[in-house]
């Protein structure tokens, strides 16, 4: 199928075509099996990394693709349309490399960035704790300086790719209050670091989400990213970009649900005609299509501001709010288009509806996005 998108360059078009090809050959044949069996797709991330799809927006100097954010997000949307769990993990990988890229020293970047951006090293982002989700400043996991190391103690929660990632961008407490949080780069094999069993989630079954436990884990002090006490602002700056990734994932899920619904509505007949030809259903499909197109426009608007170096935090929250609410509505309506079979696991629309729900929750719930947007008004 030709790529029906407004793209800034021929290179961007080729990237979308490449992504669709990989989605057809690598993701599509195994997605249903892994999501049903809740098994990890070993090798899939290495294949995406080898194709350069794990580091598209990062600078070429460090091995990234040097692509505008608006192109990266459209590629991410294509991945998520085929497999949301993989799309989320790709977005989280990008999120987890942001602190090193934006706040690391030259020496730290030289040591760790090339491995991350080549996709040899998959990253996870570890901010949340059981009592500190929306209220991230309430986190308790401690990092106590001891000579040339920090000693880590405490537990983290809800880590996408937990137990499978190669590094963890960790936020831990080095002092009091919101200015007492610092950012660290933790290697997976650190002594004293262990992981809980995967959460039994509603969706995104193929990529684990786990807790992590630090028990007197000694981390070399040169793995502090940025300054001591700068952690929360690093976390939030990474989340501005990450939220755009989640918006793109949500649009991918919604587009996939719309495509399946349109296909089914043109096959299924009732009362002697295709159900798409009943105006009540045709209008439902029209509303779904309008929601997908307008949701995509919100993330592109924010991404283009980011690409131009303009402030985009409020626009990122708008995109996350609009795109994820659209995904929830469109996927729920797609189940409706399928009627009774939509409520079974025989069709993908049921999975899309479960997948859409989490996009309204993580990387800041949609209530928190409204908080960010309202605070940005008039500033
Ligand atoms: C599958 C999954 C993957 C995740 N991946 C990661 C990850 O990789 N890394 C990571 O760090 N975290 C991750 N998270 C955690 C996620 O970001 C948090 O769950 C989320 O931020 C919400 O925090 P909470 O669960 O503690 O809910 P709470 O903060 O307890 O919120 C409960 C409810 O109260 C509402 N609420 C809270 N405060 C306010 C307020 N001030 N105003 C209005 N309403 C409010 C919320 O919107 C929500 O509806 C993941 C979570 C899940 C489920």
Question: Is residue 17 annotated as a catalytic residue, yes or no?
Answer: no
Q: Chain centroid to CA 228: how far?
A: 27
Q: Which atom of ligand 1 is nearest to the CA of 361?
A: 20
Average pLDDT over residues 67-86: 98
The pLDDT confidence band at residue 1, using thresholds 50, 70 and 90, is low
- Rounded to the nearest angstrom, the distance between the alpha carbon of 361 and the centre of ligand 1 is 6
- pLDDT averaged over every residue in the chain: 97
- Rounded to the nearest angstrom, the distance between the alpha carbon of 83 and the centre of ligand 1 is 23
Q: Among 35, 350, 355, 363, which one carries the catalytic annotation?
A: 363
The pLDDT confidence band at residue 182, using thresholds 50, 70 and 90, is very high
pTM for this entry: 0.97
- Which class for 1: exposed (0-12), middle (13-18), buried (19 or more C-beta within 10 A)? exposed
Would the pLDDT of 284 be above 80?
yes
The pLDDT confidence band at residue 379, using thresholds 50, 70 and 90, is low
The pLDDT confidence band at residue 261, using thresholds 50, 70 and 90, is very high
Measured from the Cβ of residue 150, the count of other Cβ atoms closer than 10 Å reads 24
- Tell me the three state secondary structure of residue 149: strand
Residues with Cβ within 8 Å of 285's Cβ and at least 6 positions away in sequence, in order, are 258, 261, 262, 265, 276, 337
What tokens appear for 50 in the block?
């080898």
pLDDT at 2: 64
Percent of the chain with pLDDT over 70: 99
Q: Which of 69, 34, 44, 38 is nearest to 55 (CA)?
A: 69
Q: What CA dihedral angle connects 125, 128, 134 and 136, to 10 degrees?
A: -90
The pLDDT confidence band at residue 213, using thresholds 50, 70 and 90, is very high
Find out whether the beta carbon of 209 lies less than 6 Å from any atom of ligand 1.
Answer: yes
Average pLDDT over residues 4-29: 95
Q: What is the pLDDT of residues 186-199, one digit of tens each?
A: 999 999 999 999 99
CA angle 2, 3, 9 (to 5 degrees): 130
Q: What is the pLDDT of residues 25-42, one digit of tens each?
A: 999 999 999 999 999 999
Find out whether the beta carbon of 159 lies less than 6 Å from any atom of ligand 1.
Answer: yes
């Amino acid at each position: 199928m030709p790529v029906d998108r407004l793209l800034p360059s021929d290179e961007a078009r080729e990237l979308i075509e490449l992504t669709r090809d990989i989605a057809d050959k690598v993701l599509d044949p195994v997605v249903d099996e892994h999501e049903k069996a809740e098994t990890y797709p070993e090798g899939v991330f290495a294949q995406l990394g080898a194709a350069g799809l794990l580091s598209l927006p990062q600078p070429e100097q460090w091995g990234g693709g040097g692509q505008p954010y608006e192109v990266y997000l459209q590629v991410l949307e294509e991945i998520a349309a085929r497999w949301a769990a993989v799309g989320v993990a790709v977005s989280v990988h990008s999120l987890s490399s942001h602190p090193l890229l934006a706040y690391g020293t030259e020496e730290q970047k030289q040591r760790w960035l090339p491995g991350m951006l080549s996709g040899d090293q998959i990253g996870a982002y570890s901010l949340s704790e059981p009592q500190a989700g929306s209220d991230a400043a309430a986190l308790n996991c401690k990092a106590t300086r001891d000579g040339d190391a920090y000693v880590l103690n405490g537990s983290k929660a809800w880590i996408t790719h937990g137990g499978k990632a190669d590094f963890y961008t960790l936020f831990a407490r080095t002092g009091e209050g919101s200015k007492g949080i610092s950012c660290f780069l933790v290697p997976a094999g650190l002594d004293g670091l262990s992981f809980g069993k995967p959460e039994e989630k509603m969706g995104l079954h193929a990529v684990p989400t786990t807790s992590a436990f630090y028990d007197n884990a000694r981390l070399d002090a040169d793995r502090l990213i940025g300054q001591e006490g700068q952690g929360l602002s690093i976390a939030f700056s990474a989340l501005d970009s990450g939220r755009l990734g989640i918006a793109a994932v949500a649009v991918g899920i919604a587009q996939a649900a719309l495509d399946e619904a349109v296909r089914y509505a043109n096959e299924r007949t009732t009362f002697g005609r295709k159900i798409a030809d009943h105006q009540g259903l045709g209008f439902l499909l029209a509303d779904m299509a309008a929601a997908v197109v307008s949701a995509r426009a919100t993330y592109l608007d924010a991404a283009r501001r980011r690409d131009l170096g303009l402030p985009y935090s409020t626009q990122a929250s708008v995109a996350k709010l609009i795109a994820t609410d659209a995904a929830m509505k469109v996927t729920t309506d797609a189940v409706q288009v399928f009627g009774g079979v939509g409520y079974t696991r025989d069709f993908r629309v049921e999975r899309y509806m479960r997948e859409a729900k989490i996009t309204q929750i993580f990387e800041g719930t949609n209530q928190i996005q409204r908080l960010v947007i309202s605070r940005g008004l008039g500033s």
